[in-house]
Amino acid sequence: MTYLITQTLNGLFSAALLFLIASGLTLAFGVMKIVNIAHGSFYMLGVYIAYTVILRTQSLLLGAAAAIVVVSALGFVMQRFFLRRFGNDPLAQMMMTMGFALLFRDATLMIWGGDPFTLQYPGWLRGSMEAGDVVFPYYRLFVIVVAALVGVALWAINEKTLLGARLRATVDDPEMASAMGINVTLLSGLVFAAGAGLAAFGGVMGGPILGGYAGLDFDLLPLAFVVVIVGGMGSLKGAFVGSLVVGMIDNYGKALVPELSYFTLFAPMILVLALKPTGLYGRA
Amino acid sequence: MLQITDLHTYYGESHVLQGVTLAAARGTVTAVLGRNGVGKTTLCRSIAGLTPARAGAVVFDGNDITRTPPYRIHDLGISLVPQGRRIFPSLTVQENMAIAVNTTRSQGWDLQKVFAVFPRLAERRQNRGNELSGGEQQMLAIARALVARPTFLILDEPTEGLSPMLVAEVAGVIRRLKDEGTSILLAEQNAAFAVKVADYVHVMSKGVVVHSTDPVALWQNEEVKTQLLGVPAAVSPPNTRPGT
């Protein structure tokens, strides 16, 4: 029982990080149909930028703010000046994001070197919660709560605000959205920037546990894609459910049959694709 | 108000509009008629900026909008009721309108007025677009265009697939908008409907305007009716006339 609870909590922690990464990936796909290979790089850049800022200020909050601002701006520029030029060519866009991913990887190596590290976090989040035999670190609990709050905020923006309605209109029918007065180009840039910022924030949240190292970007990218494909590309709800499914499966898979960890991760994805090609909450 | 000069529009290599010239005067209903595939919808799309013309000019209130992006054209006061309605399925009735609201013009329609004029939309305000009937979708498509407070309204096949009762309701709305001073471009295959509400009629064939006249004269021209509009010769003239 203790084992089950601990593993479930660990699964929730993985799901929380995955949701922060995948929600931006799925939003960008919904609005722009961009398959963004550089999305894992946004996470990685978030970790490294926060690392530099936290070294100087000792503040996780400042580190998170800097990571979000810088990476969002980077995402905006990337969309506005590069990806937008290939508006109707998903393959060209994907290749370009691949190029950016490699560029970011080498730039990170050049600026920060290849030594692994973990992010420092505030003292009040150290230590572990103990309930009976279950011991679970406060920091992981904190990340689960933060991701849940981000999820609620994203849901509220998407479903309850005019901006969210404009966003959904653009996902439904971009051409009609522009005919109804929505500047789809600007909105796309903002969504891409917000998605990049979310991934960077995910990096800061995951940084104290997973740390930063060379290759982090491409370690996380497949997981994020599995989440988005299982949940349905373009669906926020799908990213939420997909994160839970993949977080749990990945965690239990690695705990129970570590030698099959990639199988347990990709088998559900293939199953979902075979039964419902659009993903759980995707649209045709 | 709207002047279109020698407009050429392509879909890829397909040359759809092959030099359309027409004008729509302020405060009038201008109908564009013709069979399926003659370029009526392409003309509407070119004016709204969705398929910009490759050559020629669209001038609206003195502004050349030939290559202006659609959202800017919408801001300038041109609203589109597109063919097939194109309601946003995942937005509620209210949201479908809210995203299109434009308050830069102080006079005009708002959600309250829409709900007063279309009580059915008020009842369905929290329903999503994909939960509406075809008739409700058409009313919503018109309402969504109106809340932008357009000075110029493009209606592309607004009667397509509607019951006679709803067609009459659309006719009533068009007359009302005209009385309020809105200029209207009406693209229709349903010539019998268009001549009832239009002040002036252009007939298109193969991407050009081939015949321009007033509706009464058009309805008396059996040759144009049968050759270009596909109206059987036996159809009797409509019993209502513009202005009656």
Which tens digits make up the pLDDT trace of B160-207? 989 999 999 999 999 999 999 999 999 999 988 999 999 999 999 999
β partners of residue B18: B8
Q: Using an 8 Å Cβ cutoff, are A51 and A212 in contact?
A: yes
* N-term to C-term CA, chain A: 41
DSSP B177: H
pLDDT at A262: 82
Q: Which of A165, A172, A183 sits opposite B71 (nearest CB)?
A: A183
Q: Kindly tell me if the per-residue pLDDT of B43 is higher than 60.
A: yes
DSSP A113: -
A-chain CB neighbours of B50 within 8 Å are: 175, 178-179
Q: Please state, rounded to an integer, the average pLDDT across all residues of chain B.
A: 91
pLDDT at B115: 94
Q: Using an 8 Å Cβ cutoff, are A10 and A144 in contact?
A: no
For chain A positions 135-174, those within 8 Å of chain B (CB to CB) are 162, 165-166, 168-169, 171-173
**Structural domain containing residue B20:** 2-228
Q: What band does A258 get if pLDDT is binned at 50, 70 and 90?
A: confident
- Whether A162 and B98 lie within 8 Å, measured CB to CB: yes
pLDDT at B243: 44
pLDDT digits (tens, 9 = 90+) for A119-135: 998 889 999 988 888 88
- Whether A169 and B82 lie within 8 Å, measured CB to CB: no
Structural domains counted in chain B = 1
Contacts of B54 (CB under 8 A, 6+ apart): B8, B9, B10
Which residue from A minimizes the CA distance to B71?
A: A181
Distance, CA of A18 to CA of A8 (rounded, Å): 15
CB atoms within 10 A of CB A56: 9
Q: Does the residue B185 lie in any domain?
A: yes
> What tokens does B131 get?
């939960």
Q: Using an 8 Å Cβ cutoff, are A36 and A199 in contact?
A: no
Q: Please state, rounded to an integer, the average pLDDT across all residues of chain A.
A: 93
Q: Does the residue B96 lie in any domain?
A: yes
Contacts of A230 (CB under 8 A, 6+ apart): A238, A241, A242, A245, A246, A268, A269, A272, A279, A280
Q: Which of B71, B90, B144 sits opposite A168 (nearest CB)?
A: B90
Percent of chain A with pLDDT over 90: 76
Which residue from B minimizes the CA distance to A182?
A: B71
Which residue from B minimizes the CA distance to A163?
A: B99
- Across the beta sheet with B55-60, the strand order is B14-24, B2-11, B55-60, B63-64
Q: Which of A172, A178, A181 sits opposite B88 (nearest CB)?
A: A172
pLDDT at A180: 97
pLDDT at A155: 95
Distance, CA of B170 to CA of B173 (rounded, Å): 5
- Phi (first) and psi of residue A129, to 5 degrees: -80, 140
Name residue A44's amino acid.
M
Q: What band does B244 get if pLDDT is binned at 50, 70 and 90?
A: very low
Task: Determine which of A180, A237, A281 to mutate to test the interface with B (most B C-beta atoms within 10 Å).
Answer: A180
Distance, CA of B134 to CA of B138 (rounded, Å): 6
Q: By the CB < 8 Å criterion, does B6 face chain A?
A: no
> What tokens does A35 get?
């398959």
Q: Does the residue B75 lie in any domain?
A: yes
CA distance A185 to chain B (A): 10
For residues A221-246, average pLDDT: 92
The number of helices, as runs of H, and strands, as runs of E, in chain B is 10, 10
Taking each helix axis as running N to C, give the angle between helix A138-160 and helix A2-32, from 0 to 180 degrees, rounded to the nearest 10: 30
CB atoms within 10 A of CB B37: 12
**C-alpha R_g of chain A:** 19
Q: Kindly tell me if the per-residue pLDDT of B30 is higher than 50.
A: yes
- Whether B100 and A181 lie within 8 Å, measured CB to CB: yes
- Whether A176 and B88 lie within 8 Å, measured CB to CB: yes
Which residue from B minimizes the CA distance to A166?
A: B99
Contacts of B126 (CB under 8 A, 6+ apart): B92, B93, B94
pLDDT at B169: 92
Q: Kindly tell me if the per-residue pLDDT of A88 is higher than 80.
A: no
Distance, CA of B61 to CA of B16 (rounded, Å): 26
Q: What band does A282 get if pLDDT is binned at 50, 70 and 90?
A: confident
DSSP B163: -
Question: B239 or B63, which is more confident?
Answer: B63
**3-state secondary structure (DSSP) of residue B109:** coil
pLDDT at B216: 86
Q: In sequence order, what E strands does chain A have?
A: 128-131, 134-137
Contacts of A149 (CB under 8 A, 6+ apart): none
Domain ranges for chain A, please list them.
Answer: 2-275
pLDDT at A32: 86
pLDDT digits (tens, 9 = 90+) for A22-38: 999 999 888 888 899 99
Question: B140 or B223, which is more confident?
Answer: B140
- Whether B90 and A178 lie within 8 Å, measured CB to CB: no
In 3D space, the residue among B118, B115, B121, B185 whose CA is nearest the CA of residue B151 turns out to be: B185
Q: Kindly tell me if the per-residue pLDDT of B241 is higher than 80.
A: no
Q: Using an 8 Å Cβ cutoff, are B152 and B1 in contact?
A: yes
CA distance A99 to chain B (A): 30
Task: Determine which of A31, A168, A176 to mutate to test the interface with B (most B C-beta atoms within 10 Å).
Answer: A176
Q: Does the residue B222 lie in any domain?
A: yes
pLDDT digits (tens, 9 = 90+) for B143-152: 999 999 999 9
CA distance B81 to chain A (A): 10
Question: B241 or B142, which is more confident?
Answer: B142
For residues A227-256, average pLDDT: 92
Distance, CA of A169 to CA of B99 (rounded, Å): 8
Task: Determine which of B42, B75, B90 to mutate to test the interface with A (most A C-beta atoms within 10 Å).
Answer: B90
Handedness of CA A30, A33, A36, A37 (dihedral sign): positive
Q: What band does B210 get if pLDDT is binned at 50, 70 and 90?
A: very high
pLDDT digits (tens, 9 = 90+) for A240-253: 999 999 999 989 98
Q: By the CB < 8 Å criterion, does A175 face chain B?
A: yes
> What tokens does A121 get?
């976090």
Handedness of CA A101, A102, A105, A107 (dihedral sign): negative
Q: Which of B69, B90, B144 sits opposite A180 (nearest CB)?
A: B144
Tokens 């950016």 belong to residue:
A100
**3-state secondary structure (DSSP) of residue A31:** helix
Q: Using an 8 Å Cβ cutoff, are B129 and A171 in contact?
A: no
Q: Kindly tell me if the per-residue pLDDT of A237 is higher than 70.
A: yes
Question: A105 or B236, which is more confident?
Answer: A105
CATH number attached to the domain at A2-275: 1.10.3470
Q: Using an 8 Å Cβ cutoff, are B90 and A172 in contact?
A: yes
Domain with B99 in it: what CATH number?
3.40.50.300
pLDDT digits (tens, 9 = 90+) for B44-80: 999 999 999 999 999 999 999 999 999 999 999 999 9
Q: Kindly tell me if the per-residue pLDDT of A87 is higher than 80.
A: no
> What tokens does B84 get?
């097939």
Q: By the CB < 8 Å criterion, does A176 face chain B?
A: yes
